[in-house]
Amino acid sequence: MRFMACSNIMVKDEISSAGSKMLYNFKAPFGADVYDRCIGKGMEFAGLIETDEFGIDSLFEQNTDAAITAMLENRCDFVLCNDLFGKLQRQAPGHGLVYINPAYGAVSRQGLIPAVSSMDRIGVLCRNIDDGCRVISAISDGVSDFAKEIPDKATEYKDISQLKYTDIIPYVFYILASAEISGNTARYDGVKFGFRAENAQNLNEMYLKSRTEGFDRDTQLAIITGCMVLSKDNYNKLYHKAMQIRRLIAEHYTRLLDECGFLALSPSVTGKNNLERSVFCLLSSLCGFPSISMKHGDSERLFVYKG
Amino acid sequence: MKYEVVMGLEVHTELATKSKLFCSCSAEFGGQANENVCPACAGMPGMLPNANKRAIELGIAAGIITNSRITPTISFDKKNYFYPDLPTGYQITQLFAPICKDGYVDIETADGGRRIGLTQIHLEQDAGKLVHSYDLSLVDYNRAGVPLIEIVSKPDFRSAEEVVAYLEKLRQILSFAGVSDCRMQEGSMRCDVNLSVREAGSDVLGVRTEMKNMNSLKAIVRAIEYESQRHIDALETGSEILIQETRRWDDNKGVSYSMRDKEEAADYRYFPDPDILPIDISDEWIAAVKSTLPESAGDKFARITGQLGISEYDAGIITASRKLSDIFDKLTQKGLPPKDVVSWIVTELLSMDTQENKSNDDIDIDCDKFADLLLLVERKEINRNTAKKILSLIYNQNIDPIDYVAQNNLGMVSDTGLLEGIVSEVLAENPSSVEQFLAGNEKVSGFLMGKAMAKTAGKADPAAVRMILMEALGRL
């Protein structure tokens, strides 16, 4: 199989920029575990693909992701990605593609340029379930056989009153994600590697200019939000509260999954912004549940499992 | 008006691990700049931290010897701030579940014993080092990621003397337990002093300032004296308004100065590090660490003064330094009499290097060779004077004492026949001295003794020569 990887997945000696000007010249000193595993299985590497900066989706824009385009142009059989904001899961079914998320922790994050450490995971954008399962088996230690659990399309979906917390999931997600993004991007300061702005008069100015010029809008928004929710005045009100709600969400949905085996949800719903549109993908990110986004019959479906 | 100074200490000390806290780079001091650095401790993206088990065990050991409670489940947190010596832009430390809590250390001062309470001990990464030259600032990340513990005391100190006694006690117990080598000059032990001044008898604390950058015990004492006086002056004359702030001690100028404005007061935005899972510390693990702890300085003092009959003065010198204590153990384990060993260490070894700023922990000698030397004395193969000279050669040039004695023919002359011949010669060559002796001037025997020793080039067994000489004189 031929594969590509989003540029936040490091490939030794290749410029692995994670879509950021900050890392425009960052030649990875080692390769990601997933890359090594794929090569080890005899798969053929077809190159890195630009990604949204660090995999951070825009709040409002809805451009087609470069990974989707690469698949549609038939440049490879699958793409390794970190779809923590749900953008690829929203877009894949509409293009006849499948996105598979392994359970959090099932696939090594070593060599993935981090955004949100507690949710980052490497998933697979592919053409069908069989390809996807083969790749997930290759890059994780377990054997994945999601296909068995894909329901017959005649199955009834019922009782949506159990889908709780859907109004706050996007914002709990964003509070926690932005906090971790602010920490994980702190290393890009222009001191040691990557982009450094010119003409700074002193250290503080060098930091400010490098980070202002090096990060795009959505990353800067996430960093500012993250610093805000972690500040002394807001930590308990926002970050800590969001952690508590995350636990309630995880407990509720784990119980639900215990009862019914899997949930058949929608990868893209109507909403004011991309976070709200991705609400069920973000549920999977927050709780680390494995999931598959695909066309199922006439509907776009996001199947969520307990993992 | 009488004032009382109230102080609390934050002591950072590097743990004696081989590798860093979250990667396998060497944690050794020194070396070429940026020699012990990997993508993880250089802050490259894509590397995940792996906690060093040994560092956690040394943290547990620190808790045991400071009578602390060990936290059953510890976790690590990110402390965010920008500085070029911090490669990731955050320090991994422990805020929410530090490894130890509520310990204490007992100290002795001229005013008697005092108990200093400890709020907590936590594990964290050290930062790198900035080197400034002309208009350049260079960064050395060798130290970045080296494991530290920070020992936070309660505000229990009332004098600089207590602070010094506490730091010396910490150094002693931590180095004996093998937790840290506690070298202030190399920066492996650093201390911040939180200080406030209030009217004697008051139970309200005054405005607190934190002082950093004291690199020796002397500097700490000077800084405390300076800062206390600054506070008292401010209270008495109103010459300045005290604010809660961090101050930097300049030991050359003997003053402290403010490090940052209030506007820039740091908000470290702590949060749990999602890359490191919480770690359980079971009672069995604590017991296992406890069973590997070596004898404490206090126990050793009691044992060698009690069972071995070493004087309290000498035992105090030996147990004040982990190094001397180890030398003592190695030599006595080879069967050498403890009292002789102590005498050789305290009177001879310690006079080898009297350079300033050298502490007894800096002494470096090959214990096997030192033991071989003392065994030669013990077996009367060389005499004490020869041994002193050879000790100096071992210390300075690391020579082998057995080879050296053989090559230079320094073996002690104790052949009775030979010595009798020499004594007869000496008596024949010095008739006037012999006459004086016979006339009752017994001091002259010393002169004759010296003559006899000289004829053996100092190699004779002095006790044997004395006996033969006195017998010969007695027969006259």
Which residue range is the domain that position A131 belongs to?
2-169+243-305
Instruction: Give the pair of three-digit tokens for residue B25.
Output: 């780079």
Which residues of A are less than 8 Å from B39 in CB distance? 29-30
Which residues of B are less than 8 Å from A193 in CB distance? 44
Closest-CA residue of B relative to A207 is B82
Query: Which of B262, B284, B306 is the last residue in one of the domains?
Result: B284
CATH number, domain with residue A96: 3.90.1300.10
Of A209, A182, A208, A235, the residue nearest B80 (C-alpha): A182
Query: Which of B263, B284, B305 is the last residue in one of the domains?
Result: B284
Closest-CA residue of A relative to B41 is A187
Closest-CA residue of A relative to B270 is A230
B391 class by beta-carbon count within 10 Å (0-12 exposed, 13-18 middle, 19+ buried): buried
Of A262, A291, A256, the residue nearest A103 (C-alpha): A291
- For residue A180, give the nearest of B47, B84, B274 by CB distance: B274
ipTM (interface pTM):
0.93
| β strands within A154-229, DSSP E | none
Question: Residue B269: inside a domain, yes or no?
Answer: yes
Tell me how far CA of residue A171 lies from CA of A224, A236, A242, B55, in angstroms: 15, 16, 8, 38
Q: Do B46 and A183 touch (CB under 8 A)?
A: no
What is residue B263's predicted lDDT score, i.e. its pLDDT?
45
Whether the CB of B47 is below 8 Å from some CB of chain A: the reply is yes
Q: Do B274 and A118 touch (CB under 8 A)?
A: yes
* Ordered per-residue pLDDT tens for chain A, 307 residues: 999 999 999 999 999 999 999 999 999 999 999 999 999 999 999 999 999 999 999 999 999 999 999 999 999 999 999 999 999 999 999 999 999 999 999 999 999 999 999 999 999 999 999 999 999 999 998 766 666 667 665 455 566 778 899 999 999 999 999 999 999 999 999 988 999 999 999 889 999 999 999 999 999 999 999 999 999 999 999 999 999 999 999 999 999 998 888 898 999 999 999 999 999 999 999 999 999 999 998 899 999 998 7
Q: Do B271 and A183 touch (CB under 8 A)?
A: yes
Closest-CA residue of A relative to B43 is A187
Q: Do B87 and A18 touch (CB under 8 A)?
A: no
Q: Do B90 and A186 touch (CB under 8 A)?
A: yes
Confidence of residue B91 (pLDDT cuts 50, 70, 90): very high
Which secondary-structure segment (H or E) carries B7? strand B3-14
Instruction: Give the pair of three-digit tokens for residue B161.
Output: 């003397």
pLDDT digits (tens, 9 = 90+) for B148-189: 999 999 999 999 999 999 999 999 999 999 999 887 777 778
Q: How far is B407 from chain A (nearest CA, A)?
A: 57
Q: Do A117 and B274 touch (CB under 8 A)?
A: yes
Mutate which: B25, B136, B263, B269, vs A, most A CBs within 10 A: B269
Q: Do B275 and A232 touch (CB under 8 A)?
A: no
- For residue B42, give the nearest of A183, A192, A231 by CB distance: A192
Whether the CB of B395 is below 8 Å from some CB of chain A: the reply is no
Closest-CA residue of A relative to B277 is A118
Question: Residue A234: inside a domain, yes or no?
Answer: no
A150 class by beta-carbon count within 10 Å (0-12 exposed, 13-18 middle, 19+ buried): middle
CATH number, domain with residue B460: 1.10.10.410
- Say how far apart CA B232 and CA B363 lie, in whole Å: 42
- For residue B45, give the nearest of A113, A191, A227 by CB distance: A113
- For residue A114, give the nearest of B45, B82, B270 by CB distance: B45
Q: Do A183 and B90 touch (CB under 8 A)?
A: yes
Number of domains in chain B: 2
Question: Residue A87: inside a domain, yes or no?
Answer: yes
Tell me how far CA of residue B87 lies from CA of A98, A187, A221, A251, B122, in angstroms: 39, 6, 23, 37, 21
Candidate from A21-35, B42-56, B290-304 with smallest mean pLDDT: B290-304
Question: Residue B314: inside a domain, yes or no?
Answer: no
The residue with tokens 């749990």 is B272
Number of domains in chain A: 1
Whether the CB of A7 is below 8 Å from some CB of chain B: the reply is no
What is residue B297's predicted lDDT score, i.e. its pLDDT?
87
Question: Residue A217: inside a domain, yes or no?
Answer: no
Which residues of B are less than 8 Å from A239 in CB distance? 271
Which residues of A are less than 8 Å from B267 in CB distance? 231-232
What is the average pLDDT across B356-378?
81
Question: Residue A160: inside a domain, yes or no?
Answer: yes
Which residues of A are less than 8 Å from B48 in CB distance? 109-110
* A70-77: Cβ within 8 A, 24+ apart: A70/A4, A71/A95, A71/A97, A71/A125, A71/A126, A71/A127, A75/A2, A75/A4, A75/A46, A75/A47, A76/A2, A76/A3, A76/A4, A76/A46, A77/A1, A77/A2, A77/A3, A77/A126, A77/A127, A77/A131
Angle at B6 between CA B4 and CA B9, to 5 degrees: 155
Question: Residue A294: inside a domain, yes or no?
Answer: yes
Q: Do B80 and A182 touch (CB under 8 A)?
A: yes
What is residue A52's predicted lDDT score, i.e. its pLDDT?
96
For residue B351, the number of C-alpha atoms closer than 13 Å in the C-beta half-sphere is: 8
Instruction: Give the pair of three-digit tokens for residue B462.
Output: 């002095």
Mutate which: A192, A206, A210, A235, vs B, most B CBs within 10 A: A192
Q: Are B59 and B124 in contact (CB under 8 A)?
A: no
Strand partners, B148: B14, B124
Q: How far is A25 from chain B (nearest CA, A)?
A: 13
Which residue range is the domain that position B457 belongs to?
416-475
Q: How far is A246 from chain B (nearest CA, A)?
A: 14
Whether the CB of B263 is below 8 Å from some CB of chain A: the reply is no
Q: Do B46 and A111 touch (CB under 8 A)?
A: yes
What is the average pLDDT across B396-412?
81
What is residue A149's predicted lDDT score, i.e. its pLDDT?
67
- For residue A186, give the nearest of B46, B89, B270 by CB distance: B89
Portion 201-260 of A in contact with B at CB < 8 A: 203, 207, 227, 230-232, 235, 239
Question: Residue B323: inside a domain, yes or no?
Answer: no
Whether the CB of A6 is below 8 Å from some CB of chain B: the reply is no
pLDDT digits (tens, 9 = 90+) for B190-241: 899 999 999 988 888 899 999 988 988 899 999 999 999 999 999 888 888 8
Q: Do B46 and A112 touch (CB under 8 A)?
A: yes
Question: Residue A297: inside a domain, yes or no?
Answer: yes
Closest-CA residue of A relative to B45 is A113
What is residue B265's predicted lDDT score, i.e. its pLDDT?
58
Portion 32-51 of A in contact with B at CB < 8 A: 32
Mutate which: A14, A189, A287, vs B, most B CBs within 10 A: A189
Which residues of A are less than 8 Å from B45 in CB distance? 10, 18, 23, 113-114, 184, 187
DSSP 8-state secondary structure symbol assigned to residue A25: T
Question: Residue B258: inside a domain, yes or no?
Answer: yes
pLDDT digits (tens, 9 = 90+) for B378-401: 887 887 888 888 888 888 888 888
- Say how far apart CA B253 and CA B323 lie, in whole Å: 34
- For residue B275, give the nearest of A18, A111, A117 by CB distance: A117
Backbone phi, psi, residue B54, to 5°: -60, -40
Which residues of A are less than 8 Å from B46 in CB distance? 10, 16, 28, 30, 32, 110-114
Question: Residue B380: inside a domain, yes or no?
Answer: no
Angle at A68 between CA A64 and CA A71, to 5 degrees: 150
Using a pLDDT cut of 70, give the percent of chain B over it. 97
B279 and B421 share one domain: no
What is the average pLDDT across B301-314?
90
Alpha carbon of residue B261 to chain centroid: 37
Q: How far is A195 from chain B (nearest CA, A)?
A: 13
Residue type, B466: R
How do beta strands A78-81 and B209-214 pair? unpaired
Question: Residue A80: inside a domain, yes or no?
Answer: yes
End-to-end CA distance of chain B: 83
Which residues of B are less than 8 Å from A182 in CB distance? 80, 269
- Say how far apart CA B314 and CA B345 lie, in whole Å: 9
Question: Residue B315: inside a domain, yes or no?
Answer: no
Which residues of B are less than 8 Å from A110 in CB distance? 46-48
pLDDT digits (tens, 9 = 90+) for B254-279: 999 888 654 455 789 999 999 999 99
The residue with tokens 């999602």 is B274
- For residue A186, give the nearest of B39, B88, B271 by CB distance: B88
For residue B161, the number of C-alpha atoms closer than 13 Å in the C-beta half-sphere is: 7
